[in-house]
Each structure stands twice: as C-alpha cells, then as structure tokens.
Amino acid sequence: MLSKKLSIISYFNKILHHEKIIDSMPKDFLLDIDKKIIKIRFLDVSNEVFVNIDSNRITLFEDSNNYDVEISATLINFILFIITKGADKFASKIKINGDIETANKFNAFLSDSDKLREIISNIFGERAFIRIESIFNNTQSIVSEFTENLENDLKDFLIYDLNILPSKKEIDQYINDVDDLKSRTEKLFQKYSND
C-alpha cells in the first residue's frame, strides 16, 4: 500500500519526470499540446486527473482551477480508446467539454501508436519493446474479440431470448389457470373427503 505522502499521482509524476523518460522524449514531442492543462474525469471511479503539458514534460495534478479541456469517460473506455488506437467504438463514449482543438490533439497523441512506440522503445530498449509490443497486440486482439463476442451475445439475447420470456398477460393467465386448478382440486378433495 502506498504511504499517505506518496499518492498514486505523485508516484506517476516521479516516473514521468525520471531522467530516462525525459531523455527518451524527442525534442518538441508534445509541441502541439504545449502549455495546456487537460482534465480527465473518470466517471465510474469518481476521480479526476489534471494533465499539464509544459516544455515537453507531463505533470499530473489532483486538482486545478484552470484547464483548457475536460475529457469525461469511464476508466475502461479511456484505456480501451488508447489500446485500440482511438477506435470510433470507444471514442464515441468519451465526452469532451472546452477547447475542442486541444482535445483533438491530445486524443490524437494518445491514439498515435508511432509516438507512444517511440517513447516506450527509448525507455525499455528495442528487445524489451518488441516483447511489450507482442503482449500489447495479443491484449488488443483479446479485447477486440471480447467486445465483438459481447455484442453478438447481446444481439442474440435481444433477438431470440427475449421472445422466450412470457408477457404480463401470459403470466396473469398462468396465475389464473393455477388458481382455477387449485380451486377445482380443493372441490374434488372436499367431495371425496366427505364420502
């Protein structure tokens, strides 16, 4: 467990400001979104992170009074957006408020696999990067297959399985039939128990 002094955000900032990461960033790598603050609000965990890009450095904050754009999404949709390189399926589930141009540049950065590949390759080295990339590609195909199967299963349920469920009218009729059968059974029981 992290100590109170070392929050998750400060831990990520230590990683982002590590000498190896700073040295691995090409000059003017983040120039398109320099001097911008992006608020990322995760809807499912009631958390938000402020990403400050300044002089080719990324710094995370827990709060900020000013920001250029707010991006709202569930954590899983945000991660899947990055993994699937900005697939429309997940991009449509992300809400953007504020400076659209900054949001588009930030989203383009997140979904631009070449830029992220370059950073990761510089940090971990070429051999390790090839291994990480193969794991990433396997994960991406598993996620794609999972979402496709989930969609198909949901379609099948909505098309076929919902027809199996009885309507309210059919349930009411069944209850009436059971009540009728019960009363007839009681009458028969009364008739033969008195004999």
84 and 135 housed in the same domain: no
Q: Is the pTM of this model over 0.75?
A: no
Per-residue pLDDT of the chain (195 residues; tens, 9 = 90+): 444 445 788 888 888 888 877 777 777 777 777 888 888 888 887 778 888 888 878 888 888 888 888 888 888 777 777 766 667 777 778 888 888 888 777 777 776 656 666 666 766 677 877 787 788 778 877 887 888 888 888 888 777 777 777 888 989 999 999 999 999 999 988 888 876
- pLDDT of 1 reads 44
Q: What is the DSSP string of the chain?
A: ---SSS-HHHHHHHHHTSHHHHHHSPTTTTGGGTTEEEEEEETTTTEEEEEEEETTEEEEES--S--SEEEEE-HHHHHHHHHTTS-HHHHTT-EEEE-HHHHHHHHHHHH-HHHHHHHHHHHH-HHHHHHHHHHHHHHHHHHHHHHHHHHHHHHHHHHTGGGTSPPHHHHHHHHHHHHHHHHHHHHHHHHHHH-
- Rounded to whole angstroms, how far apart are CA atoms 187 and 145? 60
74 and 108 housed in the same domain: yes
> By residue range, what is the domain housing residue 141?
125-164
Flag whether 175 is in a domain: yes
113 and 147 housed in the same domain: no
- How many Cα neighbours within 13 Å face the side chain of 194? 6
55 and 134 housed in the same domain: no
58 and 101 housed in the same domain: yes
41 and 60 housed in the same domain: yes
Flag whether 193 is in a domain: yes
Starting at the edge strand found earlier in the chain, the sheet holding 57-61 runs 57-61, 47-54, 36-42, 69-73, 95-98
- pLDDT of 175 reads 94
- pLDDT of 169 reads 92
